[in-house]
């Protein structure tokens, strides 16, 4: 689960059209980060879900941290030329055979809120 940090401030400061451009930009970064058998989707508002398989927890976390950095490195520009960046908080969980879609999303959402509570712009 991925949530754009302080997204309301982007909309309030730069307007909803610029906020929409930020969503599209992050969507493209996420889409470019998935392989053939993986997927990314906008979950709602400023949240996205990214699903991929990994048999190595450390490599998974490193991959997600690289995506987080790519989002940070993206420079956005307002209509009046002001440049700004956004950050995202990531919540990660493993799927087990006994999981339902709801249980997986609930765990990932909980981890994402832990990321927000520990300072945002991180992977938990």
- Active site positions, annotated: 46
Q: Where are the alpha helices (DSSP H) in the chain?
A: 7-14, 16-32, 57-73, 101-117
Token pair recorded at residue 80? 């009046």
| Angle CA 105–47–92, to nearest 5 | 45
The total of other beta-carbon atoms located within 10 Å of residue 20's CB is 12
> What whole-number distance in Å separates Cα of residue 52 and Cα of residue 90?
14
């Amino acid at each position: 689960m991925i949530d754009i940090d302080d997204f309301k401030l982007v909309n309030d400061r730069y307007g909803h059209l610029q906020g929409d451009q930020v969503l599209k930009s992050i969507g493209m970064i996420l889409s470019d980060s998935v392989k053939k058998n993986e997927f990314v989707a906008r979950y709602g508002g400023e949240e996205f879900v990214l699903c991929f398989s990994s048999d190595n927890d450390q490599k998974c976390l490193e991959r997600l941290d690289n995506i987080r950095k790519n989002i940070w490195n993206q420079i956005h520009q307002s209509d009046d030329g002001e440049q700004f960046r956004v950050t995202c908080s990531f919540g990660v969980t493993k799927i087990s055979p006994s999981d339902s879609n709801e249980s997986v999303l609930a765990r990932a959402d909980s981890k994402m809120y832990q990321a927000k509570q520990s300072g945002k712009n991180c992977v938990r």
